[in-house]
Chain A
Amino acid sequence: MMNGLRFTKVLLLVGSVLGSVTHAAGFQGSVLDEAGEPIVGAMVTARFSTPFQERTVFTNDQGGFELTGLPESTDHLIRVRRIGWHDVRSGGHMTAADELTPLDFTMVRHTDPALVAAQLPANHWYELLLNKLESEHDREQFVRQCTFCHQQGNPATRLQRDPEEWSKILALMARMGAGLDEDLRERVPELFNTAYDPATAVPALTEGWQDPDFAPPPSENVRQAVVDEFQLGGRSSMQHDMIVHPSGDIYSVDMTTDTLFRLDPGVPGGSREWFSIPREDVPLGGVMGLAALPSNSEMHVGPHSLQADSKGAIWITLATGNRLAKFDPSDDSFTIEPLPGGIYPHTLRIDDRDRVWYTIAGSNHVGMYDPDSGQHETIRVPARSFGEAVMLRMIPAFIWLSQYIDLSGALGAGGGEGVGPVPYGIDIAPNGDIWFSQLNAHRIGRIDPETFEVAMIDTPFTAPRRMRFDSKGNLWIPGFSSNLISKFNPETLEFQSYTMPTEPLGTETPYSLNVDRRTDTVWICGTNSDTLISFDTASEVFTIYPLPTQVTYTRDIDFDSEGRVWTSNSNVPAWQIETGIPRVLRLSPRGTPTSEVSGGQ
Chain B
Amino acid sequence: MRWGWVPAIRLVLPFALTGSLALAMGGCAKPALSDVQLATLKAQAQALADNFEASPADGSTGIVVRLAFGEEADLDLYVTDPLLDTVYFARHESGTGGIIEADVRCDTPGPRIEEIRFPDPWPGRYRVGVDHPQRCDGEQSPAPAAYAVTVHANGETYTTNGIVDLEYFEVVVLEFEIEKGGS
Q: Which residues of A contact B (CB under 8 A)?
A: 144-145, 148-149, 156, 161, 164-165, 168-169, 171-172, 174-179, 234-236, 238, 240, 255-256, 284-286, 288-297, 299, 302, 304, 319-320, 343-344, 346, 361-362, 387-388, 391-392, 394-395, 398-399, 401-415, 418-420, 422, 424, 439-440, 572-573, 575, 580
Q: Knowing A402-B10, A411-B25, A419-B21, say if A320 contacts B84 (CB, 8 Å).
A: no
Contact A580 B83 (CB under 8 A): yes
Among B25, B76, B95, B142, find the residue whose CB has the most chain A CB atoms closer than 10 A.
Answer: B25
B binding-site residues for A, Cβ under 8 Å: 7-30, 76, 78, 80, 83-86, 88-91, 94-95, 103, 105, 127, 129, 131, 133-134, 140-142, 166-169, 171-172
- Chain A residue, CB-CB nearest to B86: A295
Given contacts A171-B133, A172-B133, A290-B15, contact A413 B24 (CB under 8 A): yes
Decide: A398 and B22 in contact? CB cutoff 8 A. Answer: no
User: Quick one: which of A179, A234, A286, A290 contacts B20, CB cutoff 8 A?
Assistant: A179
Chain A residues near B85: list those with CB within 8 A: 235, 296, 575, 580
Tell which of B19, B127, B166, B169 touches A439, judged by Cβ atoms closer than 8 Å. Answer: B19
CB-based contact A409/B167 at 8 Å: yes
Pairwise interchain contact B11-A177, C-beta atoms closer than 8 A: no
Closest A residue to B92 by beta carbon equals: A159
The complex places the Cα of A391 from the Cα of B21 at a distance, in Å, of: 11
CB of A288 within 8 A of CB of B9, answer yes
The SS class assigned to the B binding surface is: loop
Q: Which 8 A-B pairs have the closest CB atoms?
A: A177-B14, A420-B21, A412-B12, A408-B10, A235-B84, A361-B18, A236-B84, A410-B26
Question: Contact at B15–A291, with CB atoms within 8 Å?
Answer: no
- Interfacial chain A residues near B28, Cβ < 8 Å: 405-406
A35 shortest CB reach to chain B, Å: 38
* Most A-side CB within 10 Å, residue of B80, B134, B169: B169
Asked whether A177 lies within 8 Å of B24 as measured between CB atoms, the reply is: no
**What are 19 A-to-B residue pairs whose CB atoms are below 8 Å?**
A168-B103, A177-B14, A177-B16, A234-B83, A289-B10, A292-B167, A292-B169, A295-B78, A295-B129, A361-B21, A362-B21, A403-B7, A407-B26, A408-B166, A411-B11, A415-B20, A419-B23, A420-B20, A575-B86
- Measured CA separation A343–B27 after assembly (Å): 21
**By the criterion CB–CB under 8 Å, are B80 and A295 in contact?**
yes
Residue of B with least CB distance to A172: B133
Shortest C-beta distance, B1 to chain A (Å), equals 13
B30 → chain A closest CB, angstroms = 4
- Of chain A, the residue at the smallest CB distance from B12 is A412
Interchain nearest-CB distance for A279 vs B (Å):
15
Give CA–CA (A175, B9) in the complex, Å: 13
User: How distant is the Cα of A573 from the Cα of B78 in the complex, in angstroms?
Assistant: 14
Report B10 CB to chain A, min CB distance, Å. 4
**Once bound together, how far apart are the Cα atoms of A169 and B133, in whole Å?**
10
Given known A161-B90, A178-B20, A403-B7, contact A411–B105 (CB-CB < 8 A): no
Inter-chain contacts of A344 with B (CB < 8 A): 13, 17-18
A145 with B19, Cβ < 8 A, contacts A291-B8, A295-B78, A575-B85 known: yes
Known: A285-B171, A402-B9, A406-B27. A572 touches B16 (CB 8 A): yes
**Contact present for A404 and B133 (CB under 8 Å):** no
Q: Is the CB of B15 within 8 A of A148?
A: no
Residue in B10, B16, B18, B171 whose beta carbon sits within 8 Å of that of A420 in the complex: B18
Excluding A172-B90, A387-B23, 5 further A-B contacts by CB distance (< 8 Å) are A234-B83, A291-B169, A394-B25, A406-B140, A580-B83
Tell me whether A302 and B78 are in contact in the complex, defined as CB-CB below 8 angstroms, given that A291-B10, A407-B25, A412-B22 are known contacts.
Answer: no
Report the bound CA distance from A145 to B20 in whole Å. Answer: 8
Known A295-B171, A398-B11; judge A410-B22 contact (CB<8 A). yes
Q: Which of B10, B20, B134 contacts A177 (CB 8 A)?
A: B20
A404 to B142, CA, bound (A): 11
Q: How far is the CA of A84 from the CA of B129 in the complex (A)?
A: 41
Contact of B19 with A422 in the complex, beta carbons under 8 Å = yes
Let me know if B16 and A422 touch, CB within 8 A: no
Q: How far is the CA of A473 from the CA of B72 in the complex (A)?
A: 60
Tell me the bound Cα distance from A573 to B172 in angstroms. Answer: 17
Chain B residues with Cβ below 8 Å from A171 are 133-134
Q: How far is the CA of A469 from the CA of B44 in the complex (A)?
A: 60
Q: Which residues of A contact B95 (CB under 8 A)?
A: 235, 575, 580
Residue of chain B at shortest CB distance from A395: B11
Contact across chains for B11 and A402 when beta carbons are under 8 A apart: yes
Q: Nearest Cβ distance between residue B99 and chain A, in whole angstroms?
A: 15
A410 and B27 contact, CB distance less than 8 A: yes
Q: In the assembled complex, how far is the CB of residue A560 from the closest CB belonging to chain B, in whole angstroms?
A: 26
A422→B21 contact, CB < 8 A = yes
> A288-B9, A302-B15 given as contacts; is B22 within 8 A of A418 (CB)?
yes
**Which chain A residue shows the least CB distance to B171?**
A293
Closest A residue, CB atoms, query B9: A289
Q: How far is the CB of B20 from chain A (nearest CB, A)?
A: 4
Q: How close is A353's CB to chain B, nearest CB, in angstroms?
A: 27
Q: Determine the chain B residues whose CB is within 8 A of the CB of A422 once the complex forms.
A: 17-19, 21
Residues from chain A with Cβ under 8 Å of B11 in the complex: 288, 343, 362, 395, 398-399, 402, 407, 411
Report chain B residues within 8 Å CB of A234. Answer: 83-84
Among B16, B22, B140, B168, which residue has its beta carbon within 8 angstroms of that of A291?
A: B168
Interface-central residue, B21, B83, B84, B133, by most chain A CB under 10 Å? B21
B9 engages A399 (CB within 8 Å) = yes
What's the minimum C-beta distance from B77 to chain A, rounded to whole angstroms? 10
Residue pair B169, A293 in contact (C-beta under 8 Å): yes
- Report whether B18 and A168 are in contact in the complex, using a CB–CB cutoff of 8 Å: no
What separation, in Å, do the CA atoms of A439 and B20 have in the docked complex?
10
Residue of A nearest to B10 (CB): A408
Docked-complex contact B15 and A420, CB < 8 angstroms: no
Q: Which residues of B contact A290 (CB under 8 A)?
A: 13-15
Question: Within 8 Å CB of A288, what residues of B?
Answer: 9, 11, 13
Complex: how many Å from CA A294 to CA B80? 11
CB pair A419–B171 under 8 Å, yes or no, is no
Bound-state Cα–Cα, A405 to B80, Å: 33
CB of A165 within 8 A of CB of B90, answer yes
Task: Output the least CB separation between A362 and chain B (Å).
Answer: 5
With CB as the reference atom, state the residue of chain B lying closest to A404: B30
Query: CA A156 – CA B91 in complex, angstroms?
Result: 8
Min CB gap A419→B, angstroms:
4
Q: Is there contact, CB below 8 Å, between A164 and B105?
A: yes
Q: Known: A179-B22, A405-B27, A406-B27. Contact between A284 and B8, CB under 8 A?
A: no
Q: Most chain-A CB neighbours within 10 Å: which of B7, B16, B169?
A: B16
A420 to B167, CA, bound (A): 21
